[in-house]
Amino acid sequence: MSFPMSADQQQSVHSAEMPSVGSASANRIRRLGKRPLVFNGTELAMAMSFTPGLPYWYELNVFRTDQQKFVLAIKLFYSSEDEIDSSDAWEFDTLAEVFDAIEAYDAGRDVRFDMGGLSDAPAAAMAAMSMSLRAEVEAARAHFAGLVGEFFKQLEDAA
């Protein structure tokens, strides 16, 4: 048998299922070569660079912790199930330091390159592979720079 709930009871159940916007939550973010960054905090901003047809995309998240620090998380996702998604996170004292870190991030470091077959490749093939790798690095940097520009534009518009 069920009984109808009052509006207050319905609101209470709804708020228990869905945390309110801006409420602090527990976060655990994987980091490359380090222990995960674990903190309680509120997400202040998020941006994603998903573009149909591209094999990867970035996600930026900025949090404020309960200790009034700021966390930047940069995640890289791949469309292919054969690729492994990655993430990294850093903690900063000020929001200005977060913005500096976003601008300084080099997406070129995320480009993967297969070294197989280089030992016996002719010089012309090595030069072609080098040019191809350089183009991939520049494309990754341009893709990330577009996300950063849009992220800062949205923050400026919201202010």
Q: Are 64 and 41 in contact (CB under 8 A)?
A: yes
Q: Which uninterrupted H or E stretch holds 153? A: helix 123-158
Query: Which pLDDT belongs to residue 21?
Result: 52
pLDDT tens digits for range 11-45 = 433 334 444 456 789 999 999 889 999 999 999 99
Q: Is residue 12 part of a domain?
A: no
Q: Is residue 18 part of a domain?
A: no
Q: Is residue 16 part of a domain?
A: no
Beta carbons within 10 angstroms of residue 156's beta carbon: 8
- Rounded to a whole number of angstroms, the CA Rg of the chain reads 21
Q: Is residue 11 part of a domain?
A: no
Full domain range(s) for residue 44: 25-158
3-state helix, strand, coil in the chain (%, to 5): 40, 30, 30
- In this predicted structure, the answer to whether residue 135 has a pLDDT above a threshold of 70 is yes
| Burial of 97 from C-beta contacts in 10 A (0-12 / 13-18 / 19+) | middle
From CA 85, how far away is CA 58, in angstroms rounded? 10
Q: Is residue 143 part of a domain?
A: yes
* Number of separate domains in the chain: 1
Query: Which pLDDT belongs to residue 22?
Result: 63
pLDDT tens digits for range 69-101 = 999 999 999 999 999 999 999 999 999 999 999
Q: Is residue 13 part of a domain?
A: no
Residue 24 has phi, psi (to 5 degrees) of -75, 145
Average pLDDT over the chain reads: 85
Q: Is residue 129 part of a domain?
A: yes
Q: Is residue 10 part of a domain?
A: no
